[in-house]
Amino acid sequence: MLFSWVKLAADANMLAIEAQTVIWTRLTQIALGRGTPAESMLMVTEKVAAFAEASATIATGGSAHMVVKGYRKHVRANVRRLRR
């Protein structure tokens, strides 16, 4: 039982670090004039889609672990895409 809480805390911390990386990268691109309107729109639409996915996970009996795992998957994909 304790291990699952420790794992959830570790995953949530990694999610926070990865999300900050995405935020920093996007804001840096915008500040340097390399941001695009499409990327700005993507920032908003991704959040809505991620919330809907998390809601569906919880509604179908999923756990907090599954929600954090799903968010991390999307955030890591953003990190990879933005760092190109």
Asked whether the beta carbons of 74 and 46 are under 8 A apart, the reply is yes
pLDDT at 46: 93
Distance CA 76, CA 72 (A): 6
The residue among 54 and 3 whose pLDDT is bigger is 54
Tell whether the model's pLDDT for residue 69 goes beyond 90. yes
Token digits for 38? Answer: 């499409």
In the chain, where are the structural domains located? Answer: 2-82
Give per-residue pLDDT as tens, 13-34. Answer: 999 999 999 999 999 999 999 9
Asked whether the beta carbons of 33 and 24 are under 8 A apart, the reply is no
pLDDT at 17: 96
Q: What is the mean pLDDT of residues 64-76?
A: 96
